[in-house]
């Protein structure tokens, strides 16, 4: 355990410690340098990660784009956090309460990153998608990719007050909408249900989930 750790540290003290330990921010010069490096990293991640996926798999796919967005958002949050660190007028005037809602909200970014990932895994075919299971699996993806981030974001809204709302509200909404958007097609298929489609030369009817372009094994009755 870090000998300098104090359980009663304020959020600003904790942020300064993270900036110093993980990013080497010790003064104004280093703060500006890390902000510049973080913004440049967004461009590099946007170019290199999709290229690496394409060269390896000949396909970028949801996992490749999701990984790219994850690192882009991470670099953006680092830059934004360091930029507004000395601008205390944009800090929330609401004191940290440290209750169970704060502990829940602390997992917001984790939920935004891993909720869509686990939801995507559920519907990749790892668990067979059949006529009896597709609704359960699609519902699980919506809960993981959309429900979890929304629930974890709600406790943070009580800190969006004053000038802090100019920064915190766009970040909270924008980042929360990213995982939600990954479940839009799944949600539409849940809402509309499968449609019967003729396949093959025999004209056999098969159920098809239009928005996710997935056929459900088995003949349509």
- The residue with tokens 């280093």 is 30
What pLDDT, on the 0 to 100 scale, is given for residue 96? Answer: 83
Following CA atoms 80, 85, 88, 91 in sequence, which dihedral angle do they give, to the nearest 10 degrees?
A: 50
Q: Which of 123, 186, 110, 92 is nearest to 153 (CA)?
A: 110
| Token pair of 28 as six digits | 């104004």
CA distances from 211 to 19, 71, 135, 154, 172 (A): 43, 27, 14, 29, 27
Distance between CA 50 and CA 188 in Å, rounded?
27
What pLDDT, on the 0 to 100 scale, is given for residue 1? Answer: 40
**For residues 112 and 149, is the Cβ–Cβ distance under 8 A?**
yes
What pLDDT, on the 0 to 100 scale, is given for residue 47? Answer: 97
- The residue with tokens 């997992």 is 107
What pLDDT, on the 0 to 100 scale, is given for residue 12? Answer: 81
Distance between CA 49 and CA 51 in Å, rounded?
5
Q: Residue 96 gets which letter from DSSP?
A: P
What pLDDT, on the 0 to 100 scale, is given for residue 202? Answer: 64
Q: Residue 219 gets which letter from DSSP?
A: E
What pLDDT, on the 0 to 100 scale, is given for residue 197? Answer: 78
Query: Strands 214-219 and 195-199: what pairing?
Result: unpaired
What pLDDT, on the 0 to 100 scale, is given for residue 147? Answer: 97
State the alpha helices, DSSP H only, in the chain.
Answer: 11-23, 28-57, 61-84, 100-105, 108-121, 134-142, 148-153, 164-181, 184-192
pLDDT tens for each residue of the chain, 221 residues long: 444 545 556 778 888 888 998 899 999 999 999 999 999 999 999 999 999 999 999 999 989 999 999 999 999 999 999 999 999 999 988 888 889 999 999 999 999 999 999 999 999 888 888 888 999 999 999 999 999 999 999 999 999 999 999 999 999 999 999 999 999 999 999 999 998 877 766 667 788 899 998 888 765 55
This prediction has a pTM of 0.85
Distance between CA 168 and CA 159 in Å, rounded?
8
Distance between CA 59 and CA 49 in Å, rounded?
12
What pLDDT, on the 0 to 100 scale, is given for residue 2? Answer: 47
């Amino acid at each position: 355990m870090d000998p300098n750790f104090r359980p009663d540290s304020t959020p600003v003290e904790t942020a300064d410690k993270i900036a110093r330990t993980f990013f080497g921010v010790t003064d104004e010069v280093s703060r500006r340098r890390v902000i510049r490096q973080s913004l440049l990293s967004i461009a590099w991640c946007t170019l290199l990660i999709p290229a690496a996926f394409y060269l390896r798999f000949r396909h970028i796919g949801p996992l490749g784009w999701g990984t790219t967005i994850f690192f882009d958002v991470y670099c953006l949050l680092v830059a934004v956090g360091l930029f507004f660190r000395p601008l205390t007028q944009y800090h929330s005037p609401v004191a940290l309460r440290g209750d169970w809602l704060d502990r829940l909200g602390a997992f917001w970014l984790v939920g935004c990153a891993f909720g869509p990932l686990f939801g995507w895994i559920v519907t990749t075919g790892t668990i067979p998608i059949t006529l009896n299971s597709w609704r359960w699996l699609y519902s699980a993806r919506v809960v993981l990719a959309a429900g979890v981030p929304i629930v974890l974001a709600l406790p943070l809204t009580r800190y969006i007050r004053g000038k802090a709302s100019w920064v915190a509200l766009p970040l909270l909404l924008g980042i929360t909408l990213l995982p939600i958007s990954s479940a839009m097609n799944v949600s539409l298929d849940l809402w509309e249900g499968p449609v019967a489609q003729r396949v093959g030369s025999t004209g056999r009817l098969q159920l098809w989930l239009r928005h996710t372009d997935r056929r459900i094994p088995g003949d349509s009755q």
